[in-house]
Amino acid sequence: MRAVVQRVSRASVRVARQTVGAIERGFLVLLGVTHADGRAEADWLARKIAGLRVFEDGEGKMNLGLAEVCGAVLVVSQFTLYGDARRGRRPSFIAAARPEQAEPLVDYFAAQLRALGLPVETGRFGAAMEVELVNDGPMTLLLDTSSTSTSAEPPSGPLSRDAGR
């Protein structure tokens, strides 16, 4: 799985001019799924994102997580994260998982974030979406489960201000 994680002051997604998901402070996660992905990758990525400490504390240091700032997550499926434009002028999307594999994993990923106690909004899988955001920082991370071992688990447990200190 690939995720572009953007710290936002607000973000929303619309389908056919109707807002289907919106958050204030938190993360916009653009999520791509490839053929080899399964629940283990979704679990790892959800825990990693939920545990990121990229919000400023009282001293201006990126030391706080989503739960500590009462943040939310907007998850938007984006198969184009697996686009390959190395050859030619039109990208190939052969590395992206087919919808029947990707959609349940995107839903599972969002459910795992909710299970970690985070408010989660989503786009609409397969729809033409308009995503609007205000990137806070800017602070953007690219996470890719293929470049890590999902057996190297990110910290688990409650996401509280005292966790990880």
pLDDT, tens only, 119-141: 999 999 999 999 999 999 999 99
Among 27, 55, 79, 109, the active-site one is 79
Q: Is 6 annotated in the active site? A: no
| 63-83 confidence digits (pLDDT tens) | 999 999 999 999 999 999 999
Q: Is 27 a catalytic residue?
A: no
Ordered by start, the domain boundaries in the chain are 2-147
**Catalytic residue of the set 6, 78, 112, 150:** 78
pLDDT at 149: 59
Catalytic site includes residue 78? yes
Other CB atoms within 10 Å distance of the CB of residue 45: 27
101: three-class secondary structure by DSSP = helix
Topology adopted by domain 2-147: D-tyrosyl-trna(Tyr) Deacylase; Chain: A; (3.50.80)
Contact, 71 vs 55, CB < 8 A?
yes
